[in-house]
Amino acid sequence: MKRNGAQVIVEALMKEEVDIIFGFPGGSVIPLYDALYETKEIKHILTRHEQAAAHAADGYARATGKVGVCVATSGPGATNLVTGIATAHMDSVPMVIITGQVPTHMIGNDAFQEANITGITYSVSKHNYLVKRVDELPSVLKEAFHIATTGRKGPVLIDVPKDVLTGETKVPYPAEVKIRSYNPNYKGNLRQIKRAASAINKSEKPIIYAGGGIISSEASVELIQFARQAGIPVTTTLMGLGAFPENDKLSLGMLGMHGTRYANYAISETDLIIAAGARFDDRITGNVSEFAPYAKIIHLDIDPTVISKSVRVDIPIVGDAKNILSQLIPLIEKKRKREAWHARIKEWKGKHPLKYQRGGDLKPQYVVEKIDEVTKGEAIIATEVGQNQMWAAQFYQYTKPRTFISSGGLGTMGYGFPASIGAQIGCPDKVVFDIAGDGSFQMNIQELATAVNYKIPVKIAILNNGYLGMVRQWQEFFYHHRYSQVDIEKGPDFVKVAAAYGAEGIRVDKTEEVEPALKKALDIPGPVIIDFRVSREENVYPMVPAGVALTQMIEGLA
């Protein structure tokens, strides 16, 4: 049966079981929007900016485990997606991005709204395509979904010229896909797995270092079983929060620059690191030459390029974390005591809990603790980037995967609010909070219109300190309090902004107002902004300065 290119895309979305897409129309994608007009199986969410469409698709993918899909027109529409694509690429989020392009005969002629989006996104996407013939479109779409959702997941862009959207084809949508040059290894080498098991059984001071790959591969259950059976403490990356329950006695919380003191001390004294689905990025290792100086390292990851990329690895295992952990579990000695190691960790936990100075002005950490308490730890927390992100990571206890949604690798300001919209659409029965900074929230504040229009009940908790807080903190610590271009105290009245968009707004100035405000917000069926006017110069502690060992932490006053 003949279909035009736009109809082929709609057919592909339906066959790939995509029921939600995010986007913003424009001239070159009008044929696609005309085809979408004919279907009720796919709901299109009209964001107010293309960057927000990408972040919303990203948040949807992280919260649900499904592929996120977004659409934009050619030229500026496509380039507005780039930050969102790069964000997803750094954090290995499965997305398919469809962009319009000028007709094929006009490509390279500087036509109106032309941009070489495949060239622009080459380094920030897992793969991309420029489709020049409509007959190629069905196989390209099938490949794109396959590549995005397999191996180390990531965003795949398909650039479709307008004449390809309107051209007709009889080529059917493929039932299967095989790509000769792309065959991710899922199983793991049995010999290496046995070597790893032997090293674990001999270790006196082991530690599990779990990253976002555990969540991506749905391996949280296996991780918990493995850790508890072996009696090994677990620390996670920012992206790994929720992979292991933080209320478990084996949990060390987050590692690294703003991780717990006891996680950083433990990684610095361990004799064996079992790294699972993590990539040893600079925020984790600090000074690489001083990272885990006494440890052998087992590194299991589906992406062979990250193994030994940053740190030396003794036992590499390439494969899917879920499969490898399942193979390791029967080989591991059960509940080996390691009493001295656990006693050491208990001592660190007792001496160095996460803390902040209570009393006085409203503290942002207290707000996060109250969100945890009021939601009973069951909410999905999206964050912006900066201090708000770190306080959300530190003071909310994550016990389940896919409940912490944040831009880890790229650190994208403006990410959290549209991502929370995507997460809420994907998980309509969940409470979703965006824990935001007043600077970051304003970068995609226009998405209040999206939330109001679709009655999306996200709750935005703005930790409003009137600063670009994390930059100010660095200027305080390392630039002698020379605060340059970080004071944004004369910002908008967020309660009035909420009202202007048709949302609800609540302002909180005092500690005793926090809990009633949160409960009130949860009782309101639509989107709510809660403007928490917090202590202006509160800092995130602990902090490991860039380029030093993890043990050299700056600690605030208790």
Q: With residue 144 as reference, give the H or E element that holds it.
A: helix 137-149
Catalytic residue among 11, 50, 269, 504: 50
The SS3 call for residue 396 is: coil
Question: Which one of 470, 494, 543, 553 is the catalytic residue?
Answer: 470
Q: Tell me if residue 162 is catalytic.
A: yes
- For 107-126, give the secondary structure using H, E and C: CCCCCCCCCCHHHHCCCCCC
- Which of 126, 142, 153, 162 is an active site residue? 162
Active site residue 112: yes
Residue 533 near residue 491 (C-beta atoms within 8 A): no
d(C-alpha 129, C-alpha 160), whole Å: 8
Neighbours of 8 (CB within 10 A): 28
Q: What is the dihedral of CA 496, 502, 508, 513, to 10 degrees?
A: 150
Alpha helices in 16-132 (DSSP H): 30-36, 50-64, 76-79, 82-90, 117-120
Is residue 443 part of the annotated active site? The answer reads: no
Phi, psi of 228 (to 5 degrees): -70, -40
Is 390 one of the catalytic residues? Answer: no
Query: Left (φ > 0), alpha (ψ -120 to 50) or beta: where does 548 sit?
Result: beta
308 vs 306: CA distance, rounded Å: 6
End-to-end Cα separation, the chain, in angstroms: 71
CA angle 549, 554, 558 (to 5 degrees): 140
| The pairing of beta strand 251-254 with beta strand 234-236 | parallel
> In a 3-state reduction of DSSP, which class is residue 130?
strand
Identify the three-state secondary structure at position 550: coil
Q: Report residue 83 as tokens.
A: 């930050």
Alpha-carbon gap, residue 286 to 263, rounded angstroms:
13
Give SS3 for 455: coil
Annotation says 478 is catalytic? no
Pairwise CA distance, residues 537 & 184, whole Å: 47
14, 113, 373, 397: the catalytic one is 113
**Rounded to an integer, what distance in angstroms lies between the CA atom of residue 530 and that of residue 546?**
33
The catalytic residues are 50, 112-113, 162, 470
